[in-house]
Each structure stands twice: as C-alpha cells, then as structure tokens.
Structure 1
Amino acid sequence: MRAITIGMVGIGQLGLPIATNLLAAGFRVVGYRRRDREAFVGLGGIALSSPAEVATEADFILTCLPSEDAQLDVMEGPQGLLAALRSGHTLIEMGTYERAFKERLAARIESKGARVLEAEVSGSPPLVLARKASLFLGGEPSLIEHCQPVLSAIADLQFRIGEFGSAVAMKLIANYLLTIHTLAAAEALNLGVRAGFSAEKVVEVIRQSAGGSTMFSVRAPMMASRSFQPAPGPLVTLEKYLEMAGALSADLGCASPLFSVAQSYFNRARELGMGEEDIAAVIKLIEADSHARPQSE
C-alpha cells in the first residue's frame, strides 16, 4: 500500500511546527514556500517548486498562509493549486480569513471535484510543536473522519464546530479571550511586584491558584524574565485577529468593555514599535501607566 503523502503550502512560523509533527508521525511531507525552505528540508521535508507540484504529489493538501491575498496567490495561476486539484484530493485550509472569503474559495475547490475542510489552529507555534494546541474544525463529520490520520498527527485536541466556515468564529472568540487574559496577567503581575513580591513568586503562586489561566501560565513567566524576543506570538501578528474579533463583536451587537481596553493596549504597543516582541511585552505599558507609589509619612 502506497504511503500517504501530505502537501503543505505555507511552511512558515505556524506551518513549520505543523510539518514537524507530520514528519514525526511518519508521513512523507512535500511543501512549497517561496524562500527560507532550509528548516523544512532539514527536518526531512521535500521542497517543491510550485503549489501545483505539491498538489500533483499529495493526497492531502494543507494550506497555512497569513492572509487572504497570500491564499489567493497560491491558489490561482497556471502553477497554482486550483489548476492541479483533482477528484480525490482533500484540502485542509488552516488560515484565518473572513467566513465569506472561505466559502467562496471552498466553492472553487469543490468545483474541481476536491473536498475541503476548515481547520483553525488555536495555539502558538510552540504549543503546536508540543502538541498542546487544539484544532477547531468546520466540515461534515465524514470528512473529518477521513482526515483523522492527518489531524491526529497535528493535535490531540479537536473540536467539530459545525459546517465549513463556522470554525473561524470560534477561533476569534478564543483570541478575543487571549488578549484579555494576557492584559489581565500583566496587570496582576505588576500589582504583585508593586505589592512587594518578586515577579517569580507571583508567577509561582497565581498560576496554581483559582485566578490562574492558560495565558497567565504561558505569558507571566515571560513577563517576569523579560523574555519578549524571540517571540512565539509577536504583537504584529495579533493585529488581524484583533480587527476580526472586534468586527465580529460589533456585528453581533455585543458589549465588549474588557476587549476594547485590551485592544487599545495592544494597538498602542504596536504603534510604539514593539511589533516584533511577544504580546507579553504589553506589561511594559502597564508598568509605564502605573503611578508612583505614595511615600509613607
């Protein structure tokens, strides 16, 4: 029986740890990226010259691209994926885009006789590599079952959200909370330090208390050690999710007092040139906005 070949288009910051997990599971993985392919090849991946060539060799095709423009760029043209798709292909779309865009693209893919599953990744690249991220899936249960060998090699935690296009909303809800929790972690750590505790003591105690959260456990140690670069979650990459989550909330008429404040802090951090630092660096703004402690008489 021929081994399954998985094709990846987009083997950058998020795609590379996904490819790493697939290779570790024993799959043959071929991939396309315009540049910086050395890390992928070094892991055992096979770099190809075009998206079409990836489709020609692969049984499953994963696209993991940062924007709608980037997605269209690899889909269209004589060397694009659409030109090479055939009946029997399954495409797993892992980018975060507007639902309407995803649905239009899915119709074009299905017109070629291929099937497409939505798989939103919830978790930073290090969490993906450690298999602690989760997948939010949009598609028919039978298609999810068909993709299980691939999906299970990427992440243990998987949730079927609903039909194709539904998973992006859940991803935005997760990132909505991520921003709030990260800012809250910064506030709590700053409060603890100003109350006279070491940052390390605050991290040790709070992460194990009822007030702890995933983002406190991940980001508070980074805040305590001032480890903002290299950034597993750069501020610059958060901008798209903030805009999309804010638009979703506004479209649904939701009150969003906490998110609005968190969004303003992260936007301000980018404007101050902190874009390449991890989102944990938001603590620097919290510290700067804190008043001098009153002197005791």
Structure 2
Amino acid sequence: MAEQNQTVGLIGIGQLGIPVATNLLQAGFRVVGYRRHDREEFVRLGGKAVESPAAVAQEADVILLCLPSEQASQEVLEGNNGMLGALGSQHVVVEMGTYRKAFKLAQAEKITATGARVLEAEISGSPPMVASHKAAVYAGGDLDVLDVCRPILEAITPNLFHLGEYGKAVSMKLIANYLLAIHTLAAAEAMNMGARAGFDPKLVAEVIQKGAGGSAMFGVRAPLMAARSFSPAPGPFNTLEKYLHLGRAMADELGCATPLFSAASPYFERALADGMGDEDIAAVIKLIEADSKT
C-alpha cells in the first residue's frame, strides 16, 4: 500500500488516464488531477479535480503527464496557469505521453531548468490491460529518479522496465506499437479465415489464444472481432495513427527492412480514410473481409 496520504498528480485523465488513476487510488494513493473537461468519472472514482496544471503542482511532488499530443503537452507546461511556473526542486515530472523523441527531450530541458527532475514512463498496453495490471511501463531516465517513482509506477503495473537514459522508453514503445499493428492485422486474417472455414468466431478467438498462435493482441482484439464490438473503442484508429507515422519514421531513420509493417500499415491508413477513425482497430477485420473472395 502507498504511504498514507501520499499525493500523486495526474494531468490527463482521459481514456488512458482513468485506469491509471483507478490503479493508483486502489493502491492507497491520493490522486489530484486536471483535465479541461469531463472530470466527473475521475471524481466519482475518488480523485480530486483541480482547475489548472499549476494547481496540480501545488498539491503533488510527483506529477504524471498522460496527454494525447505534443500540442496538449506544450499547453499544459506553458499555457495559461501552466505547470512550468509552479515547478521546483521538490518535483518529479513523469512523462507518459508518446511524442517525437526530439520533442520529449526539449520538454524535459524546460522542466529541468526549473530544478525539477524528469522521468519517462511509456505505457505499453490498452486501457483494459492497464486496468487489469497487465500493461508494461517502459522507463527512461536516472535510476535514482526511477526509485522515487517506483512505488507509484508499480501500483499501475508490476511490469516495470528501466531501459536506460531519457528518450529510450519512447523508442521501445514505438517498437511495441509497430508490432501491435502487425499483430492486429494478423489476428484479423486468422479470424476471417476461421469464419470462412465454418467455425464460430467466438470459438476461434478462444481456441487460437490457448495455443501457439496466440498473442497479446489476439487475446485483446479477437474477442472484439468475434463480437463485432468496435465501439466504444479501447484503442481507436485515430489513436494508432500517430504511432504508424512515428514507427515508420523510426524504422526509416534506422534503415530497417519492414516487410510486414509495410503490408499492415496501409490497412490502418485505409480505415482512417474510410471514416472508421473512432472505431477500435479490431474493426480492420472488416477490410480483410471486404478484400476476401466471395
């Protein structure tokens, strides 16, 4: 359990932030959070909502940033009542958002200029995986800073990995999401093949996951495909879009051959172009079905 009354700040209490907050609250932490709107669920869970990023820093020494975009991150740091002006040497800022590595390093420089310390903690896993403590956290930064944050991060998930200096975690996250796209499309191919072979899709989802063909993404997405349950989406195409671009840029920079990603990526791009952005990426099976022979 957490030290009694220990407070954790959380900026970004959306689709991923809510299960993060839930796990922290269940572990005994007091959680103070900020989001511009839709704070009701966070409050209902037991969190305390405040009116600005600066207010979070005034109540918590360890602050988690769980934001969807570079623009949102920049606004939280430097916007009206932004966090930068409230930071000091007592603070640790844990960046959980996935952005370009150069952007993350620039943001870290701004934070450390205040005297605060930084840690990178990329979450690999869907919101349901976070809720069930089955996600992984990839940490980048100094080990002494990680040790300060370790009880907090291990309350989110026991699967915590230190990968080296600040900036290393985002590289591993992009590799993980690179595979996520490939594995989801592979799951869709298998589910479509099973249905066309005359099997109940729910049976395919259950049986394949128990054998050699199972994977983390098959376990998450195949049941959604079997149930045709694509909305509300735990992982929509709109969210995956930036990972496709960042993953491609990283592979190109490293000179990697990408035969499977190059085959998978166009399917997700096509889903976005077809207006499926708000659906879960499991809906890629609809494109596989459409391309199959009648």
Normalising by structure 2, what TM-score?
0.97
In structure 2, the residue matched to 1:246 is: 248
How big is each residue's C-alpha offset from its partner over 1:102-129, in whole Å with a ceiling of 9 and x where there is no partner?
Answer: 1111111111111010000000111111
Contact kept? 1:92, 1:117, Cα under 8 Å: yes
Superposition deviation, residue 175 in structure 1 = 0.3
Match of 2:104 among 85, 91, 102: 102
Whole-Å separation in 2 of the counterparts to 1:161 and 1:202: 36
In structure 2, the residue matched to 1:138 is: 140
In structure 2, the residue matched to 1:186 is: 188
Whole-Å separation in 2 of the counterparts to 1:201 and 1:214: 17
Contact kept? 2:187, 2:221, Cα under 8 Å: yes
- In the alignment, structure 1 segments of 5+ residues that lack a partner are 293-297
In structure 1, the residue matched to 2:170 is: 168
Superposition deviation, residue 77 in structure 1 = 3.9
In structure 1, the residue matched to 2:263 is: 261
For 2:118, the aligned partner's letter is V
For 2:167, the aligned partner's letter is G
For 2:151, what is the secondary structure of its paired residue? helix
In structure 2, the residue matched to 1:38 is: 40
Whole-Å separation in 2 of the counterparts to 1:61 and 1:134: 19
Whole-Å separation in 1 of the counterparts to 2:65 and 2:194: 43
In structure 2, the residue matched to 1:280 is: 282
Matched, 1:128 2:144: no
In structure 1, the residue matched to 2:121 is: 119
Whole-Å separation in 2 of the counterparts to 1:233 and 1:116: 27
Q: Percent identity?
A: 62
In structure 1, the residue matched to 2:235 is: 233
Whole-Å separation in 1 of the counterparts to 2:220 and 2:25: 26
For 1:284, the aligned partner's letter is K
In structure 2, the residue matched to 1:295 is: none
Match of 1:56 among 43, 55, 58: 58
In structure 2, the residue matched to 1:213 is: 215
Larger Rg: 1
In structure 2, the residue matched to 1:224 is: 226
In structure 2, the residue matched to 1:74 is: 76
Whole-Å separation in 2 of the counterparts to 1:164 and 1:233: 26
For 1:192, the aligned partner's letter is G
Contact kept? 2:4, 2:29, Cα under 8 Å: no
Contact kept? 1:77, 1:83, Cα under 8 Å: no
For 2:190, what is the secondary structure of its paired residue? helix
For 1:216, the aligned partner's letter is F
- In the alignment, structure 2 segments of 5+ residues that lack a partner are none
Whole-Å separation in 2 of the counterparts to 1:34 and 1:240: 22
For 1:227, what is the secondary structure of its paired residue? coil
In structure 1, the residue matched to 2:293 is: 291
For 1:10, the aligned partner's letter is G
For 1:19, the aligned partner's letter is A
* Higher mean displacement: 202-211 or 227-236: 202-211
Report the aligned-residue RMSD: 1.2
Whole-Å separation in 2 of the counterparts to 1:290 and 1:44: 49
Whole-Å separation in 1 of the counterparts to 2:191 and 2:170: 31
For 2:173, what is the secondary structure of its paired residue? helix
Whole-Å separation in 2 of the counterparts to 1:45 and 1:85: 21
Contact kept? 1:228, 1:281, Cα under 8 Å: yes
Matched, 1:19 2:21: yes
Contact kept? 1:4, 1:59, Cα under 8 Å: no
How big is each residue's C-alpha offset from its partner over 1:126-147, in whole Å with a ceiling of 9 and x where there is no partner?
Answer: 1111111110000111111111
Residue-pair matches, total: 292
Superposition deviation, residue 200 in structure 1 = 2.1
Superposition deviation, residue 281 in structure 1 = 0.3
How big is each residue's C-alpha offset from its partner over 1:233-287, in whole Å with a ceiling of 9 and x where there is no partner?
Answer: 0111100000000110111111111101111000101111111111000000000
Superposition deviation, residue 9 in structure 1 = 0.9
Whole-Å separation in 2 of the counterparts to 1:210 and 1:77: 50
